[in-house]
Chains A and B, each alone.
Chain A
Amino acid sequence: MGKAYRFLDEIVLGDLAFEATGDSVSELFESAALAVIEAMADPLTVETNWTKDCLLSESEIEDLFFEWLNGIVFIKDAEGVIFHSVRAMVRHDSENNLWHLDATLTGDGVDATRQDLRTDVKAVTKHLFEIRPDESGWYARIVLDV
């Protein structure tokens, strides 16, 4: 199936739902992040003057994924930025039973005169929230409150 995301308009009305896929869990984390990023602004209109490395660890993959996407929403407000691109690497440490994320977000300060801004994402919800391996890799479904 590969790294992809698709906005769904049949399961929510006021909010924004999407499903994301990846051949690997790392690809899934990237594709879902790109969906969140694209909900906020057209990434092609955002320059790359700002970069942030993100390290997260959780014992459950669901928690790591939820924290990751919510982290993007948090950084948008706390640092006043929107995003151009993302790189994510997820690995499982079976000895300590922990999932680790090492990611980098790239973007720029918000500037409505230069960027095609879209929706201010309020939160990543747990409504219909799903992340699981499937026959061709990994799958997730997310509803954003906007």
Chain B
Amino acid sequence: MNLATAMKVNRLADAVWEIPKTEKSGMLVPARIYGTKRILESMDAGVFEQVTNVACLPGIQKYALCMPDGHWGYGFPIGGVAAFDVRNGIISPGGVGYDINCGMRLLRTDLTLADVKPRLDALMTELFRTVPAGVGAKGFVKLSRRTLQDVMHQGARWGVKQGYGWDSDLIHTEEQGCLSGADPEHVSEHACQRGMGQLGTLGSGNHYLEIQVVRNDRIFDRSVAERFGIHGHDQIVIMVHCGSRGLGHQVGTDYVRIFEKAMKRYGIFVKDQQLACAPYQSPEGEQYFSAMNCAANTAFANRQVIAHQIREAFCRVFRESPERLGMRQVYDVAHNIAKVERYERQNLLVHRKGATRAFGPGSPDVPDPFRTVGQPVICGGSMETGSYLLVGTAQANSESFGSTMHGAGRTMSRAQAKRMVRGATLQQNMAEQGILVKAVSMSGLAEEAGIAYKNISDVVESVDAAGITRKVAELLPIGNIKG
């Protein structure tokens, strides 16, 4: 094999590989990478270096994982998953990322491509106006300091209470859109100031809002798809990818600095400053966990407000209520988070950075409509190639700390993508393919070109072959809004 590492990488199964703990000094457990041979060969050197650095962190259990969409990040690789014993393990902001609870939300509709195509331009214009995106964008929700605290406490529930959404949205959201243990006391004044005006905004980078179509021949498990409200026949769905905005970014920034100092006191040494961490059961660890939950709840609220705005935009364009358009939420799932979960009668703090929870059938944390089939998993691909809806499996619970992939995964730097394609050209080419794109930043658009990403189908085949999620449906883009 032609790999970007000199470390020994052993094949465990069709799409599972292991780097033994003898390959790097300080590794406490092996590192495991999910992916077909082709995916493994496409991974950059940073993945191998970073996943083995994670394997050195105190209290890590079983193995450090990287999903097939993994790529070079900071501290943890993107696609990294690691579980730590809550009694003697650490918590690390670098294992969550700065965009705390960056995640995906998927709304289904009863509309078809034939309904939407004639009005796609008007719909995209209305969505672009209604859901602010890009640097410095402000949302329509005006928060006081008091109401921001309510948002941090209540997450998506706050949004629904204000009339921004439906009660059923909450059942169809990871943790019902509200993580407990969120105390705004541990969120800095700077974080609050950054978050005040940003509720209901997309941000930029790889964040987007996308109108997608589900073709009949791209449904792989019709029974599970029907349970998720997906029936094909050129059905229209809407996907949102965004997170906690400036509030979460500042929480990450604040606690990396706090942890750098705390590590010296706790005698913890890490191989990368961005892996700064503290014992989970320490004042610093508990404060970060609490602040992270505040930011995660803000992200749930952010996506809740955006979903409301999407429904309102559809309502204006189609002159029908969102209820009559069947705009129910399929699911909302986090992919940058640390959560206490129970595995083999042990409470573990599971870090997912660019990885999605993927609980299988029967899990008490999977809501009733899905409990017998497993949790919906929403994976966003590049804006040119499409996305996937997957379902969690029992094997994920037993093998990968209930985790799977989150997207396509980059293979090219932003600068390289910009050298290869201009934003305006890309926009024109996509229009010719039937995908209407509206973007605040043309250079930002070029950075997100499909050529900069792995083929999401290869990534999905990897987790399907490994058994940690199963394919349900492919979702093909017809309209994309980017910051």
Contact = CB atoms under 8 A, between A and B. Distances in A.
Interface of A: 7, 9-16, 40-41, 66, 70, 73-74, 76-78, 80-82, 109-110, 112, 116-120, 122-129, 143, 145-146
B1 interface: no
Interface in B73-88: 73-75, 78
B159 interface: no
Interface in B234-286: 245-246, 249-250, 252-253, 256-257, 260, 272-274, 276
A116 B424 CA distance: 13
A120 B204 CA distance: 6
Nearest to B192: A78
A-B pairs, 5 with minimum CB distance: A110-B136, A127-B74, A9-B415, A77-B246, A9-B413
Nearest to B249: A122
Contact of B136 (A10, A82, A124, A143): A82
A126 B46 CA distance: 16
B72 A12 contact: yes
B197 interface: yes
B29 to A, nearest CB: 22
A10 B413 contact: yes
B74 A145 contact: yes
Interface in B390-421: 410-416
B99 A126 contact: no
B392 to A, nearest CB: 25
A82 B135 contact: yes
A111 to B, nearest CB: 8
A73 to B, nearest CB: 8
B204 A146 contact: yes
A14 B78 contact: yes
Given A119-B204, A120-B203, A13 B483 contact: no
A110 B98 contact: no
Contacts of B413: 9-10, 12-13
Nearest to B272: A127
Contacts of A14: 71-73, 78, 205-206, 410, 414
Contacts of A74: 190, 193-194, 250
Given A9-B416, A16-B414, A119-B205, A125 B136 contact: no
A50 to B, nearest CB: 12
Nearest to A14: B410
Given A13-B413, A117-B441, A120-B205, A80 B74 contact: no
A45 to B, nearest CB: 12
B479 interface: no
A76 B441 contact: no
A80 B136 contact: yes
A146 B198 contact: no
B72 to A, nearest CB: 5
Contacts of B46: 13
B413 to A, nearest CB: 4
B464 interface: no
A23 to B, nearest CB: 26
Contacts of B203: 120
B430 interface: no
Interface string B137-177: 11000000000000000000000000000000000000000
B129 to A, nearest CB: 12
B371 to A, nearest CB: 35
Contacts of B272: 127
A6 to B, nearest CB: 10
A128 B274 CA distance: 8
Nearest to A16: B414
B422 to A, nearest CB: 14
Given A12-B72, A74-B250, A117-B136, A80 B197 contact: yes
B443 interface: yes
B444 interface: yes
B436 to A, nearest CB: 19
